Amino acid sequence: MSDPGPAADPVLGASIIRAVKSAGIATVITVPDITTSDGLLRPISNDGSLRHITVCKEDEGIGISAGLSYAGKRSLILIQNTGFLDSINAIRAVGVEYEMPICLMVGLLGKQAGEAPTEARNYGVRIVEPILDAMGIARALIETENDVALIAPAIEAAYKTSRPTALLIGQSPGAE
């Protein structure tokens, strides 16, 4: 068996935030998620250059993001996989059928680093990728620093093609 080489560094929240900003995101709409709480949500909430909108329930974010996009404003919705599941109808209608650039960043609760989401212990995590695929929504798994390069192109593509995209956070981002 060949040497797999050194493991990539775990993703840092600061790297994700830089990538998101480089894609023109100025507003982040959130419901707290323990996977992204310390490394991502807390620095976002303290970042004066981002407008942070806290919502009571995740599907509110789908409507807010759609409204912002008509105004030419880019936004990101940062939620947990449970919130994604709760928002399926809104994502279906507004994102998929209305072809709106809904950008989701979804923490996968309890998924182990290096484990495929479809092999996670948590059923609510295992079904995320198959649901996204069934809905035709582009997705990328972000859990190492190498994966950060996927973020900005995914957001740019969402706005260029006016289609939803999902960035799945596969392990807790590190705080700097």
Q: Interface residues with another protein (CB under 8 A)?
A: 27, 51, 53-57, 59-73, 75, 89-90, 92-94, 97-99
Residues found in the chain: 176
**CB of residue 145 vs another protein: minimum separation in angstroms?**
32
Which two three-digit tokens encode residue 123? 């059923």
Instruction: Write the CB contacts of 21 (distance below 8 Å, at least 6 apart in sequence).
Output: 49, 50
Neighbours of 18 (CB within 10 A): 13
Distance (Å, whole) CA 14 – CA 125: 24
Q: Which is nearer to another protein, 96 or 127 (CB)?
A: 96
**CB of residue 88 vs another protein: minimum separation in angstroms?**
10
Q: Which is nearer to another protein, 6 or 72 (CB)?
A: 72
Which two three-digit tokens encode residue 2? 């060949």
**CB of residue 90 vs another protein: minimum separation in angstroms?**
4
Q: Which is nearer to another protein, 93 or 157 (CB)?
A: 93
